[in-house]
Amino acid sequence: MNIAVLFGGISPERFVSMNGGKAVVQALRTLGHNVYPIDPALGADCIVDIDNIDIPNRAPTKSEWSNFPLRNLIDCINSSIFDNIEVAFLVLHGINGEDGKIQALLECRGIPYTGSNVKASALSIDKIASKLIFNATGIMTPPWIIARKKEVGNYEFLATVRAELGSKLVVKPNDQGSSVGVKIISDGNLDDINQAMVEALEYSNIALIEQFIEGREITVGIIGEEALPIIEIAPQEGFYDYTNKYTKGKSLYICPADISEDIEEFTKGIAETAFIELGCSGFARADFRLSEEGQPYIMEMNTVPGFTSTSLVPMAAKELGIEFPELCQHILDIAMEKKNEQKI
């Protein structure tokens, strides 16, 4: 097959995405496919020599990702490179890749792609929208309050937040991934909450202030509509921020997680329900906090989760005996089945 692997993009997760794209390109080539490594941030001249590029092991500076014109996304998908592409494998994380924009452009060109459609992608990356759906369908998610730029420096508002949600809080941008812009406030200090809100609002027009759930961090990968083995994530120190996610040795991953069978099945069921209620398809990953009482609280659904051979969804699939190239092929097969179903 002629496959375009899309990675990089215009996002604070650009470098993470490039690592995933490289892994997928290599895996698909081992299966005999004709693979085009494509970075949409580069516009019409978007084919990349993925084997010989230097990918920094850090988060990009704002200038390293935000200076690409958004018009480049249109120019890339509209280029002649896509004339013979049979399917696109998406490894684009965060805004301008996981939020429905690229999916919409591919649909306009009639090119099938991996993962969720435009609507499900947009809903899932919008943390507030997805939490509203969780609440409406009875799925437990931590209580939250919306914060906008007008609330910066409003200490009466911040005091209300603390009174309603408690002193231990999580402050995050509404539509980012990879823990970009996320801060944990442990003591309810109003100055710290305000500063965390300022930092979150650098990445999004809306910040989310959530009650922190004491307990363990677990994640559930989903392929098709079926949950994979649960993974527990245990950072060596602090919380599971960008550094602890992407620096080797900073976090311990336990797969399958050491939890009781009833909690495991209950959590998997929640992940599968959330996947369906958001309208997701293909593959995704649901992130949870498991309280000290054993109650799973869903945090968010990632419709384009990390996808190197050592990322969490591939790690869980490997527990079932599914190697990385086979997993990539399975995800492609689901995308092609979805295309065929739409023709009927």
- Model confidence pLDDT, tens digit, residues 159-177: 999 999 999 999 999 987 6
pLDDT number for residue 181: 81
* Inter-residue contact 271 to 220 (CB < 8 Å): yes
Provide the mean pLDDT of the chain: 92
Cα–Cα distance, 212 to 142 (Å, whole number): 7
Task: Tell me the chain's radius of gyration from C-alpha atoms.
Answer: 20
* Inter-residue contact 302 to 278 (CB < 8 Å): no
- Is 237 part of the annotated catalytic residue set? no
Q: Which of 285, 289, 297, 311 is labelled catalytic?
A: 285
Cα–Cα distance, 149 to 198 (Å, whole number): 8
Q: Which of 287, 289, 297, 311 is labelled catalytic?
A: 287
Q: Which of 96, 174, 194, 302 is labelled catalytic?
A: 302
- Is 240 part of the annotated catalytic residue set? no
- Using left for φ > 0, alpha for ψ between -120 and 50, and beta otherwise, residue 207 falls in beta
Q: Which amino acid is it at 304?
A: V
pLDDT number for residue 225: 86
Q: Taking each helix axis from N to C terminus, what angle separates 101-109 and 118-125, rounded to the nearest 10 degrees?
A: 170
Instruction: Reduce the DSSP state of residue 310 to 3 states and report it.
Output: coil
Q: In the structure encoding, which two tokens stand for residue 215, read together?
A: 């307990």
- Is 265 part of the annotated catalytic residue set? no
Which residues partner with 36 through β-bridges? 4
- Is 246 part of the annotated catalytic residue set? yes
Q: Which of 17, 174, 178, 311 is labelled catalytic?
A: 178
- Is 135 part of the annotated catalytic residue set? no
Torsion of CA 210, 211, 215, 221, to 10 degrees: -30
Cα–Cα distance, 226 to 110 (Å, whole number): 27
Domains of the chain: 2-114 (3.40.50.20), 125-140+214-303 (3.30.470.20), 144-211 (3.30.1490.20)
What CA–CA distances, in Å, run from 217 to 9, 27, 192, 234, 260?
A: 28, 29, 23, 7, 15
- Is 178 part of the annotated catalytic residue set? yes
Cα–Cα distance, 195 to 217 (Å, whole number): 25
Query: Which pTM was predicted?
Result: 0.92
pLDDT number for residue 207: 95
- Model confidence pLDDT, tens digit, residues 300-322: 999 999 988 778 999 999 999 99
Q: Choose among 139, 106, 140: nearest CA to 121.
A: 106
Give mean pLDDT in consecutive 10-residue pieces for the chain, a chain of 344 residues: 97 93 96 98 96 88 92 98 97 94 97 97 96 96 96 95 96 80 91 95 93 95 95 74 54 91 97 97 96 96 88 94 96 87 57
What CA–CA distances, in Å, run from 74 to 7, 42, 306?
A: 15, 10, 24
pLDDT number for residue 310: 76
- Is 341 part of the annotated catalytic residue set? no
* Inter-residue contact 260 to 296 (CB < 8 Å): no
Contact residues for 32 (Cβ-Cβ < 8 A; gap 6+): none
Query: Prior bond to 256 cis, omega within 30?
Result: yes
Q: Which amino acid is it at 192?
A: D
Q: Which of 130, 246, 264, 277 is labelled catalytic?
A: 246
- Is 29 part of the annotated catalytic residue set? no
Cα–Cα distance, 68 to 119 (Å, whole number): 25
Q: Which of 13, 39, 151, 264 is labelled catalytic?
A: 13
pLDDT number for residue 180: 72
